[in-house]
Every structure is written in C-alpha cells, then in structure tokens.
Amino acid sequence: MKKVLITGGATGIGKACALLFKEKGYDVYITYNKTEPDFDGVTAIKCDLKNIVDIKKVFYRMGSIDVLVNNAGVSLIKQINDTTESDYDLIHNVNARSYFFCAKEATLRMLEYHSGAIINISSMWGQTGASCEVAYSMSKAAVIGLTKALAQELAPSSITVNCVCPGIIDTRMNACFDKAELEYEVPLGRLGTPDEVAEAVLFLAENSYITSQILGVNGGIV
C-alpha cells in the first residue's frame, strides 16, 4: 500500500485530498496544528510546520513515503506598509520554508527507491500576484520556484515534482468574502470546490511522466 503525507490535511483542500487518497487505497498520513480532523481512517499527526524538528519527527514516524502533498498554508491580507516582520515570517515559514524541508525529508526517502511524487499547492496569486497580499503572493511564487527547480534535480531519479495553483476555492479561507462578488470574478461563474483541487492532485500523483508542471484549477481566471 502506497503512503501519502498531506500537510495541513484536516480541513479544506487538505481534507479533500486525504479523503480522496484514502478512497483510492492509500495509507494516508496528515499533519494538523490547531484544528483536529473530523474524519477517521487516516493517521493524524500534530505538527508545527515552522519547527524543523517536528517535521523530521513526522517523516521518522512514517518511515517510507510514496507521495508528498505540501498543502499547509496561511493567508494574510495587508498592504505592504502594514505588514510586520512577524507577519512576513509566519507566512514564509509555513507557506514556503515548510514546503522546502518537507520536500527534503521526502526526497531523502524517495531516492532509496528511485520513485515518488511531490505535489506542492501554490495559488493563482503565486502566478499573477495580488494587491494587499504581497507577502502571501511572494510565498506562493516561491512554491512555484521550488517546484521547477526540484523537478529538474529529481528527474534523473524518476521522482516527479509538480504544482497545483488553485483559484478561488470554497473553503474557510475565503469565507470572509462576499460569495457573489467572488463568483463574478470567475469566468465559469462559480467557486471551485476542494474536491476539484484534490482530483488534480491525485492525477499528478499517479502520472509518472508529468513533472515540472504548474496546473491551474481556477475556473479560467488565469
């Protein structure tokens, strides 16, 4: 049975990924921090992804790994002049730094078998940038850079690295906005669902000839 680790797997896109991979027969591990999962059938590990020691403990507990889904993320809506050093550090420690070190730990194990898949969850704002979300957009652009570079590095070892860039998805992260206004911005006229993003993640996890790709799941915005 293949093992998959999904960071930030208790809610939203991460939860949808966990449930889909479980349905497909994977041995599913997830990390969570403040919000515990409300579903069964997975191994849930409390982890502060800002702490490299915590990250190492997760991978030690798993042993081997076949698929890594770097999904955990935090958002910030502030103009650059209002963004503090602690704001910046939090965004980048969770959204970019943790992806790097999770990918490093996964790579160390995948190289033993010359196989594996890493899927990083970025955002359409990592592709285009967003006003009042400079730090967030910057962190998500870093994820795209990580994907591109690591894909080249690991291709000779038959390990794929890809990125999914969701658009406006119907999750709690967007619950503070007016839904009708958000839908107006989307050419398809509706918000995406976590399940639709999860399907893209599974597709990339199971196709061994796709690597270094940035897949938008955004309803046509980008």
The residues assigned a catalytic role are 136
**Residue 108 burial by CB count (10 A; 0-12/13-18/19+): exposed, middle or buried?**
exposed
Local structure of 215: helix, strand or coil: strand
Dist. CA 99–CA 1, nearest whole Å? 24
Q: How many CB atoms lie within 10 A of CB 160?
A: 25
DSSP 1: -
Phi/psi of residue 84, nearest 5 degrees: -90, 170
Phi, psi at 144, each rounded to 5°: -65, -40
What is the CB neighbour count within 10 angstroms for residue 57?
A: 13
